């Protein structure tokens, strides 16, 4: 929904873009989204506008101001940001944080943390879906 915000963190190559692509797909964005590494923001039209950002190349959170970030963070769409820890002071207070860590060569550990009531609800629903997913398969 508009206002949904996902803050992705984790080391180089952890799988942030891969996770974002899954979210974009889930939001009804057609095709295969690009990697935003050299572009700060890609705008997509899913069921609603979805902004996929990578702020790795921003060296100071204040640089966000130059790209008019509030249009993406607080605008008419949902937003998913890679390297969100680089702009921590600017992140919306209400957000879902997803941290991706390496666990062995091919494994990953994902930690979900919700800030604010809105994203706490989203995380609860997500938890239920994950639970159902793993209990339905064998
Ligand atoms: N959950 C996962 N489990 C195992 N491998 C994964 C997972 N997610 C992504 N990968 C693999 O890790 C590699 C890097 O993925 P990706 O580009 O999504 O990482 P990234 O965190 O966005 O990197 P960057 O820090 O450069 O933005 C890809 O080869 C991808 O296939
Ligand atoms: Mg990436």
Tell the residue nearest (CA) to atom 7 of ligand 1.
15
Question: With DSSP H G I counted as helix, E B as strand and the rest as coil, what are the percentages for the chain, rounded to 5?
Answer: 35, 30, 35
User: Of the bound ligands, which one is closest to the alpha carbon of residue 19?
Assistant: 1
Task: Tell how far the Cα of 93 is from the centroid of ligand 2, in angstroms.
Answer: 23
Q: What is the reported pLDDT for 39?
A: 82
Does the beta carbon of 9 lie inside 6 Å of ligand 1?
no
* Residue 44: pLDDT over 90: yes
Query: CB burial class (10 A; 0-12, 13-18, 19+) of residue 122?
Result: buried
Counting residues of the chain whose pLDDT is more than 70, the rounded percentage is 99
Are 6 and 80 within 8 A, CB to CB?
yes
Here the tokens at position 97 are 């944080």
Are 82 and 7 within 8 A, CB to CB?
no
* Residue 138: pLDDT over 70: no
Mean pLDDT of 6-14: 97
Mean pLDDT of 91-119: 97
Does the beta carbon of 21 lie inside 6 Å of ligand 1?
no
The pTM of the full predicted model, rounded to 2 decimals, is 0.94
Model confidence pLDDT, tens digit, residues 18-30: 999 999 999 999 9
* Residue 132: pLDDT over 80: yes
Task: Tell how far the Cα of 69 is from the centroid of ligand 2, in angstroms.
Answer: 19
Q: What mean pLDDT is reported for the chain?
A: 94
């Amino acid at each position: 929904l508009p206002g949904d915000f996902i803050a992705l963190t984790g080391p180089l190559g952890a799988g942030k873009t891969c996770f974002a692509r899954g979210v974009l797909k889930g939001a009804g964005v057609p095709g295969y989204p690009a990697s935003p590494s050299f572009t700060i923001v890609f705008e997509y039209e899913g069921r609603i506008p979805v902004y996929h950002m990578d702020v790795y190349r921003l060296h100071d959170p204040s640089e966000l101001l130059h790209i008019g970030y509030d249009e993406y963070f607080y605008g008419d769409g949902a937003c998913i940001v890679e390297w969100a820890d680089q702009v921590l002071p600017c992140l919306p207070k209400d957000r879902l944080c997803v941290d991706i860590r390496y666990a062995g060569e091919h494994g990953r550990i994902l930690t979900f943390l919700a800030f604010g009531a809105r994203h706490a609800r989203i995380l609860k629903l997500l938890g239920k879906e994950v639970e159902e997913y793993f209990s339905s398969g064998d």
